[in-house]
């Protein structure tokens, strides 16, 4: 999964898979469950807004620079 594991929590924001069979199973599950798709989409949006918005990235960078000087 590489850096994907840093961005999402398996089962909350999406799925981390390691085989084509797992990928196919997860796609089938999401295709059949609208509520799960909605929940994961909302959780993913919240995660991105909280961690990767311009404001969030700026604050992390500001803290990093402040710690250096």
**pLDDT tens digits for 11-21?**
999 999 999 99
Token pair 């969030």 in the structure block, residue:
56
For the record, the structure tokens of 43 come out as 């959780």
Which of 50, 44, 39 has the alpha carbon at shortest distance from 4? 44
Summarised one tens digit per residue, pLDDT across range 44-61 is: 999 988 888 999 999 999
Provide the whole-model pTM. Answer: 0.72
Torsion angle of alpha carbons 14, 33, 39, 56, nearest 10°? 30
């Amino acid at each position: 999964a590489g850096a994907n594991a840093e961005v999402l929590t398996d089962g909350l924001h999406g799925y981390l898979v390691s085989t084509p069979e797992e990928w196919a199973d997860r796609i089938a599950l999401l295709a059949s469950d609208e509520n799960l798709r909605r929940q994961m989409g909302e959780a993913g949006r919240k995660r991105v807004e909280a961690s990767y918005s311009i404001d969030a990235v700026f604050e992390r960078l500001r803290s990093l620079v402040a710690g250096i000087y």
